[in-house]
Amino acid sequence: MAQLGTTTKHALRYKQTVWQSLSRSAQFFQRAPDMTTAQEIKKKFLSSPNFAVVGASKDQSKFGTKVSASLPPLHLPLTHNCVQILKWYQARNLDITPVHPKETELEGVATVSNLAGLPSPASTSVSIVTPPKVTLNILKEAKELKVPALWLQPGAEDETVADFIKENGLAGQVIYGGPCLLVEGDGIRKSLL
């Protein structure tokens, strides 16, 4: 009976977390570019010759690598496994560079410590799977380096990040507000053929 109580508590907590995430996504989606523009930004993002992913880590407790195998797929919008995103690029033979301030390699791929370390930031699309405070700093660096397109995975943005995007004229370059590369990436790539 005690096990049932614990399971029920976990289910209720999960349900509450999902609804909070969906509510946040709806708020950001309303502030994100219109659907036509959003689709154009996604195509621009995936047309890049180079890609980078910020947030991958060997530490499974970090934000960018959190995922619970015990939760159903609906949990994925809350926190994405950045290593899965890195593997997504690798599986499609795309030129991918992980960005990590301390690690020298992730999943067998050499890392750079920041966006400025990328061979060609101005021709690199960047996936971001970091907490919002970190995301804000990455956006500032990306703006300085003229990174053409950025994809904020669900959970990487908050109201401050959304405001920064709008106030700095980045809305035409940043995908945010809920879309996920792992869910939408292959469909968008097919539309580019």
User: What pLDDT, on a 0 to 100 scale, did the predictor assign at position 3?
Assistant: 53
Q: Is the pTM of this model over 0.85?
A: no
Residue with tokens 């067998």: 108
What distance in Å separates the CA atoms of residue 28 and residue 185, rounded to the nearest whole number? 20
Q: Name the DSSP letter for residue 8.
A: H
- Higher local confidence (pLDDT), 14 or 23: 23
Mean model confidence pLDDT for the chain:
79
Between CA 1 and CA 70 the distance in angstroms is: 21
Residue 154, number of CB atoms within 10 A of its CB:
21
Per-residue pLDDT at 155: 87
For residue 33, what is the DSSP state? P
pLDDT grade, residue 38 (50/70/90)?
confident
Checking if the pLDDT of 56 tops 90, the result is: no
Question: What's the pLDDT score for residue 47?
Answer: 95
Summarised one tens digit per residue, pLDDT across range 91-103 is 999 999 999 999 9
Helix runs in 76-180, H state only: 82-91, 132-145, 159-167
Rounded to whole angstroms, what are the CA distances from 37 to 32, 40, 112, 169, 174? 9, 5, 31, 14, 10
Reply yes or no on whether the pLDDT at 74 is more than 60. Answer: no
Q: Look at residue 152 in the predicted model and tell me its pLDDT.
A: 95
Rounded Cα–Cα distance for residues 150 and 137 (Å): 13
Distance (Å, whole) CA 25 – CA 77: 9
Answer with the residue of higher pLDDT: 153 or 6. Answer: 153
pLDDT of 72: 36
Structure confidence by residue, pLDDT tens digits, 129-155? 999 999 999 999 999 999 999 999 988
Note the pLDDT of residue 81.
Answer: 58
**Angstrom distances, CA of residue 104 to CA of 7, 91, 108, 138, 175:** 40, 21, 10, 19, 28
The neighbouring-strand residues paired with 150 are 126, 174
Please give the pLDDT value at position 59.
65
